[in-house]
Structure 1
Amino acid sequence: MKALIQRVLQAEVRIDGAIQGSIGPGLLVFLGVERDDNEAIADRLLQRVVRYRVFSDDDGHMNLNVLDIEGSLLVVSQFTLAADTQKGLRPSFSAAMSPAEAEPLYDYFVRETAQYVPVQQGKFGADMAVSLINDGPVTFLLAVS
Structure 2
Amino acid sequence: MRVVLQRSREASVTVEGKIIGQINKGYVLLVGITHDDTKSDADYLAAKIAKTRIWEDDEGKMNLSIAQHGGAILSISQFTLYADTKKGNRPSFTGASRPEHAEPLWEYFNEALRKEGLEVQTGIFGAMMDVELINDGPVTIIFDSPTK
TM-score, with normalisation over the residues of structure 2? 0.94
**Aligned residue in 2 for 1:121:** 122
Structure 1: gaps of 5 or more residues:
none
The Cα shift of 1:87 comes to 3.2
* Paired AA for residue 64 in structure 2: L
Q: How many residues align?
A: 145
* Paired AA for residue 138 in structure 1: V
Task: Tell me if structure 2 keeps the 8 A contact 1:70–1:117.
Answer: no
**Aligned residue in 2 for 1:107:** 107
Q: Which runs of 4+ in 1 moved over 6 A?
A: none
SS at match of 2:53: coil
Q: Distance in 2 between matches of 1:65 and 1:89?
A: 39
1:39 aligns with 2:54: no
Q: Distance in 1 between matches of 2:54 and 2:128?
A: 28
Percent identical pairs in the alignment equals 43
* Paired AA for residue 15 in structure 1: V
Q: Distance in 1 between matches of 2:16 and 2:5?
A: 24
TM-score, with normalisation over the residues of structure 1? 0.96
* Paired AA for residue 36 in structure 2: D
Higher helix share: 2
After superposition, the CA RMSD in angstroms is: 1.0
1:95 aligns with 2:95: yes
Task: Call closer, same or farther: CA 1:86–1:62 in 2, change over 3 Å.
Answer: farther
Task: Tell me if structure 2 keeps the 8 A contact 1:20–1:122.
Answer: yes
**Aligned residue in 2 for 1:142:** 143
Structure 2: gaps of 5 or more residues:
none
**Aligned residue in 1 for 2:14:** 14
